[in-house]
Amino acid sequence: MKICVTGGMGYIGSHTVIELIKEGHEPIIVDNLVNSNPEVLNRIQKITNVKPKFYQIDVRDEEKLDDCFKQEGFDAVIHFAGLKSVGESVKKPDLYFDNNIGSSKTLLKVMKKYNVKNIIFSSSATVYGVPKHVPLVETDPVGQAANPYGQTKIEIEKILINEAKQDEKMNIVLLRYFNPVGAHESGLIGEDPNDIPNNLMPYITQVAVGRLEQLTIFGNDYPTKDGTCIRDYIHVVDLALGHLAALKAIKENWGLKIYNLGTGKGTSVLELVNAFNQANNLNIKYQYGARRAGDVVVNYANADKALNELNWKATHNIVDMCRDAYLWQKQNPQGYKK
């Protein structure tokens, strides 16, 4: 299939492009590079021997996107493009609404014009808000967004759900990611945050290579087994393969589907740090600090629906995630900037 991959130069998108190529698909990347580096294309080529076609386009730019769709004739779209920093979204909510919701609307409009009926969207577990129970199932209510980033995910889901109601020929898959971490096993591509990382795993890997002094664990007095928060970390390659499984499952008049992509296992911050040390024979320096405002205490997925309907499940464990994340950072201490 010929697939438009918006945001395909980014962390999850680039890993998915590799798996698409491996499966014999033709991914075509649409990305404005606002949070990615052109070097990604060379790395994809190194891994797959294929340099995917790349359009440097802002998805909000309807004219350019229209040209791209006219030229390519896509079978499906995987829509990763979006801004994802929670902290930045609080400071610049309008930018997040415009970029994330605006690009999704433009994309849908152009898809309609060119009769492209299949779309997979990168949603997030953040749409559940503060969980009333765990594990989270897809039928759980969408909650109150904790920040503008989360609000954009809820809004885009609504737009897509509405679209599926209006056009029964549309096949729309909302994938709710839990916590993607790790990197391709080659260590050639991985997560490359612009500033000091907000997320746990890139923070740990940057401490590991000496870019950062020590990790601060935000809170050790939560009502959990070791007092630190619990998340469902999922290897980015498993996540990428979830998109391929969804693509394979799409058939005519399939309509709207929602899946959690997680492992179904909760891991505490302290457990992740210990696994990282074990996987890489290191001793990451850390201290305990105050709780981070707005943190959910425990969050993990029930991923049975994806298993039953897509025949997908995560196969990498926490140690695999820590090993691959470190290999990437060790080989690329400054990320793609070298």
**Active site amino acids:** 149
Closest CB 214 distance from ligand UDP, rounded Å? 10
**In the block, residue with structure tokens 């299949």:** 118
Binding residues for ligand NAD (CB under 6 A) = 7, 9-13, 31-36, 58-60, 80-84, 99, 103, 122, 124, 177, 180
Q: CB nearest ligand UDP: which residue? A: 229
* 163 vs 288, beta carbon nearer ligand NAD: 163
Own/partner contacts of 125-132, CB < 8 Å, gap of 24 or more, are 125/176, 125/177, 125/178, 125/179, 125/232, 125/260, 125/262, 125/299, 125/301, 126/150, 126/153, 127/153, 127/154, 127/157, 127/176, 128/176, 128/299, 130/296, 131/296, 131/298, 131/299
- Is residue 107 within 8 Å of 6, Cβ to Cβ? yes
Nearer to ligand UDP, 152 or 171 (CB): 152
Minimum Å gap between C-beta 235 and ligand NAD is 12
Helices and strands: H and E segment counts in the chain: 12, 13
- Which one, 101 or 125, has the nearer CB to ligand UDP? 125
State the minimum distance, in angstroms, from the CB of residue 169 to ligand UDP.
35
**Pick 60 or 235: Cβ nearer ligand NAD:** 60
Locate 302 and state its tokens.
């029930």
Residue type, 105: K
Q: Would you list the DSSP string of 278-337?
A: HHHT----EEEEPPPTT--SB--B--HHHHHHH-------HHHHHHHHHHHHHH-TTGGG
Any bridge partners for residue 6, and if so which? Answer: 30, 79
Per CB under 6 A, residues contacting ligand UDP are 179, 198-200, 203, 215-218, 229, 231, 269, 292, 295
Tokens linked to 317: 């464990």
Tell me the closest approach of the beta carbon of residue 268 to ligand UDP, in angstroms. Answer: 8
Q: Which does 104 bind (CB under 5 to 8 A by kind): ligand UDP, ligand NAD, none?
A: none
| Contact partner at residue 302 from ligand NAD, ligand UDP, none, CB < 5 to 8 Å by partner kind | none
3-class secondary structure, 240: helix
| Least distance in angstroms from the C-beta of 326 to ligand NAD | 18
Nearest CA-CA partner of 294 in 95, 178, 135, 145: 145
**Cβ-based nearer residue to ligand NAD, 207 or 301:** 301
Chosen from ligand UDP, ligand NAD, none, partner binding at 99 (C-beta under 5 to 8 Å by type):
ligand NAD
Q: Which does 218 bind (CB under 5 to 8 A by kind): ligand NAD, ligand UDP, none?
A: ligand UDP
Find which of ligand NAD, ligand UDP, none residue 122 binds, CB within 5 to 8 Å per kind.
Answer: ligand NAD
Spatial CA neighbour of 232 closest among 281, 258, 268, 182: 268
Say what angle helices 148-166 and 102-113 make with each other, to 10 degrees: 20
Question: How far apart are alpha carbons 202 and 125 in whole angstroms?
Answer: 19
Choose between 25 and 231: whose C-beta lies nearer to ligand UDP.
Answer: 231
Collapsing DSSP to helix, strand or coil, 161 comes out as helix
Instruction: Name which of ligand UDP, ligand NAD, none residue 221 binds, using a CB cut-off of 5 to 8 Å depending on partner kind.
Output: none
Task: Tell me how far, at minimum, the Cβ of 48 lies from ligand UDP, in Å.
Answer: 29
